[in-house]
Structure 1
């Protein structure tokens, strides 16, 4: 199924070199009014719910949605808005913050592996295994707590990690899990506005982390790390979509549209009842007549 929106323009092609500084952070549909965008979102979410119900009943495939972005890019609110109205039994949101000491006793993929969606369900990663090739690449001193075998931390180290992620995602795809990855792309100016909102609104103080300002000071380093990840890990089976994020309502519509397109492409089907079940249904109808 293709929506009326051209979402292909936001998809990163395999081996594509991306320059985030040259990409617009304002969605092309941002000119539409709030009412129109709200209606578009509701339409897509309703279709999302229908397809998710069929996939849940079929119980043969799974969908993993990965959300990444700079601080205050809108990951939490986007997940909230695109899943409102979807049966909560059919999906789970996993928020990956800093790993615990227990997490660091295992491979960095371990905690993500443990929260993968079962067949018939949708898993949503709010931040993900990509923090290990972005945040840690910008801040390699954090590797000290990972208890890794001694080795040189150079470009080759990060290339190996990226290839490991590709292999991990390819394995999931071969076993019935479709993966779609979203990078919510906001401008540095918009991030400043949103961070100030957090600082000026007592109900949002809990969202503020002083580390956000440190990350902001290394903005271009983070963009470069993401660009390196996109070039290697955006594959046909597990693509990246770079979504312009300065207008939240428009961004949510685009994300919802891509989810609907992906689910429709998976072609979930309600299971056909076998002969025994049909007989039971017939008997039940008689009993209730």
Structure 2
């Protein structure tokens, strides 16, 4: 467990570079044993989720970001399969609506934060506002921000302010009981090509493919730079980024489950202890039930 966390958790942002991370790394884990290992991790996570839900004091926000076809959807489906749906909320963020554009860029993400006692999963997130918008700055103009009337107004100072807003947003959530874990599923360009071809060749996966995917693929290098900048600027002690190799889906799922399990353990969760008068009422209820004929 420690090797996965130490290998992929971003702690030294000054020296961070995506090029240093192997998209096909498996840290020596065995694929043949991965199914059983994942089942064990999910089972342990489910037990801790019950404690999180019962205590109703903290919450966990899990963020997934990646290039198209990196496996976010399937990773969420597999790693969260053992969770109690009552204590889990999944949001998949698409292009902002006209209503969203009438507010600041964090507004719709505030609304999607997990309640106390729950696990929130964001498939894409507020980071799209420093990723997609970095490649397509014209989208920023739709936000009607004072002083930003043309693309050339979107300068380095603008992006620094946006990163600061994100850090402050996450810091505020951490201070109020929401633990944040951020996953970047690091996929190679060659593997994305293979997965795109499979989506085209398999009729059951055609719906997953869009012509827009090819247009965005043309910006691959720019996206890598945008992700690198976002991770450098926003990986903090309380809200760390994990850069996970995504070429081998089975290992990506093990890494995700391992990190989530350890995060829940680090939260020091406990079932609530009832006050004395509540315990006395429980004992009275026990006595009445046992005396029933």
Q: Is the TM value for this pair above 0.5?
A: yes
State whether residues 30 and 250 of structure 1, in contact with CA within 8 Å, keep that contact through their aligned partners in structure 2: no
Q: Displacement of 1:204 after TM fit?
A: 1.4
Q: Does 1:141 align with 2:138?
A: yes
SS in 2 for 1:6: helix
Q: Distance in 2 between matches of 1:12 and 1:240?
A: 6
Q: Displacement of 1:205 after TM fit?
A: 1.6
State whether residues 14 and 233 of structure 1, in contact with CA within 8 Å, keep that contact through their aligned partners in structure 2: no
Q: Displacement of 1:236 after TM fit?
A: 0.1
Deviation digits for residues 11-64 of structure 1, max 9, x if unmatched?
Answer: 111533432233200132465133x00111111111110111001000000110
> Which residue number in structure 1 is paired with residue 60 of structure 2?
63
- Map 1:129-278 to 2 at 5 A: 129-151=126-148, 152-278=153-279
Deviation digits for residues 175-222 of structure 1, max 9, x if unmatched?
Answer: 000000000001000000111111111221221122211111110100
> Which residue number in structure 2 is paired with residue 9 of structure 1?
7
State whether residues 4 and 255 of structure 2, in contact with CA within 8 Å, keep that contact through their aligned partners in structure 1: no
State whether residues 10 and 243 of structure 1, in contact with CA within 8 Å, keep that contact through their aligned partners in structure 2: yes
State whether residues 17 and 227 of structure 1, in contact with CA within 8 Å, keep that contact through their aligned partners in structure 2: no
- Map 1:22-61 to 2 at 5 A: 22-29=20-27, 32-34=30-32, 36-61=33-58
SS in 2 for 1:13: coil
Q: Distance in 2 between matches of 1:31 and 1:54?
A: 30
Q: Distance in 2 between matches of 1:44 and 1:67?
A: 19
Deviation digits for residues 128-183 of structure 1, max 9, x if unmatched?
Answer: 00000011001111122222223311111111101110000000000000000000
Q: Which runs of 5+ in 2 are unaligned?
A: none
TM-score (normalizing by structure 1) = 0.96
Q: Distance in 1 between matches of 2:35 and 2:27?
A: 12
* Cα distance change on mapping 1:144 and 1:163 into 2, 3 Å: same
State whether residues 180 and 238 of structure 2, in contact with CA within 8 Å, keep that contact through their aligned partners in structure 1: yes
Q: Distance in 2 between matches of 1:233 and 1:5?
A: 23
Q: Which runs of 5+ in 1 are unaligned?
A: none
SS in 2 for 1:100: coil
Q: Distance in 1 between matches of 2:47 and 2:158?
A: 43
Q: Distance in 1 between matches of 2:81 and 2:113?
A: 21
